[in-house]
Structure formats: C-alpha cells, structure tokens
A and B are shown apart, each in its own frame.
Chain A
Amino acid sequence: KAGVTQTPRYLIKTRGQQVTLSCSPISGHRSVSWYQQTPGQGLQFLFEYFSETQRNKGNFPGRFSGRQFSNSRSEMNVSTLELGDSALYLCASSSVAGAPGGELFFGEGSRLTVL
C-alpha cells in the first residue's frame, strides 16, 4: 500500500507569490490534515479535511487555505507569501475523521523556502 505522497518535495518562492502544495493520502483514507513545521514554532496544526469538508482549522491567517477533492486528495494554498512562511509542510492522512485513535500517517513533507 502506497504511503502519503506530497508534491513538490522542495520549492523556492519569493515574497508576495503564492504556492499550492498537494497531498495524496493512503488509499481508502478520507481524512487529510496539514501541519507546518518550523524550528521556532515547532509543529502547528493548519487544518483537517474529511470528505471534502474542513472539520478543523488552526490559528493561521486567511492566506492559508485548503481544499479536498472527491478522491480525498488535498491541496493547500498560501497566498502573498512572507519570509516567515518558510517551513516544512506536512500532510497526514487517517481513515477516520478527527483521528480519535490518533493513527495519523505522515508524508515526507514539502519544504518551502521564501526568499
């Protein structure tokens, strides 16, 4: 069974640009959540989607948005990039909404550098 796949793995953008990251969950998983990982702030929850609906959202500005498609693939978008958005963005999938058992499976992440 293929794991969680994130693309692109690395990307470089400049301030003011926007970026779209993609995540394909494990086959059969309908929940996808996103996390931002930085050295200073650590791992922070961005949002969770289940069956194309956003279930939870973290404390990030409106520049961060996401969506989920009918095949459970998810994208997140960051508009008007700032230097502080440089981070590793991790996607995780789960077979149940809210992952009550916490069985999240993570991808390898997308490393975003904003210049």
Chain B
Amino acid sequence: AQTVTQSQPEMSVQEAETVTLSCTYDTSENNYYLFWYKQPPSRQMILVIRQEAYKQQNATENRFSVNFQKAAKSFSLKISDSQLGDTAMYFCAFIPSNTGKLIFGQGTTLQVKP
C-alpha cells in the first residue's frame, strides 16, 4: 500500500525561528513526485515545494527547503525565518508517476507565535 505518514499532528514555533516538519512515505514505485502543501485557515490548498524522486538535490523555495532521503523514504520540510503567515496545516503528499492521484498524509498543524 502507498501511504504517507506525518507523525507530528501539531507544532508551534516562534516567529523568525526555524522549524522542521517530518514526513515518511511508503511506495514500491521508483518514479514519483513528493510535495508539501499548505492549507491556511481560509482552506485553499497551496503548493509549497515539490521534489522529483529521481533528483538527488534537495528542492528549495525561498525560506522553504526539504531534506529528501529516498532510501529512507523520508521527506521533511524545513521552514526558515518563520512568519505569522506560515500558520497553517501542512500536508505531505506524493503522486505515483502519471496517476493523477495525490496521496496525502494526515497533516501537521503549524502555529507561528509572535
């Protein structure tokens, strides 16, 4: 079965600090994509960052970066210089090649405190 596990239901961080959200997944596929999505209280899901499984280099988008460990099937998200606007639920997800089906983790609620 293809699954995604986020072991931290809730996290909090002080503004301007760094926080890491954990994610592990299970798949027998060799070619897939991994993502972190952000769902603010307004509910619209927004893509934060994505990683192609065949690329060894970790993806980076401004203050957001990932630590992708393919062998360990681990895909953590690091948010640097946390801002109040980062408060949201974060979902880790992956999509097996060309299936169009995103498989999501249960989500981590992140609160950034002033």
Contact = CB atoms under 8 A, between A and B. Distances in A.
A88 B50 contact: no
Contacts of A101: 33, 50
A103 B42 CA distance: 20
A45 B103 contact: yes
A106 B44 contact: yes
Interface residues of A, number: 30
Nearest to A48: B100
Interface of B is mostly: loop
A31 interface: yes
A104 B47 contact: yes
Interface of B: 33, 35, 42-47, 50, 91, 93, 95, 97-107
Given A56-B100, A58-B101, A102-B93, 13 more contacts: A31-B100, A33-B101, A35-B104, A42-B106, A43-B91, A45-B101, A56-B101, A98-B99, A99-B102, A100-B33, A102-B50, A102-B102, A108-B42
9 contacts: A42-B105, A45-B103, A50-B100, A55-B100, A56-B100, A92-B102, A97-B100, A99-B95, A100-B95
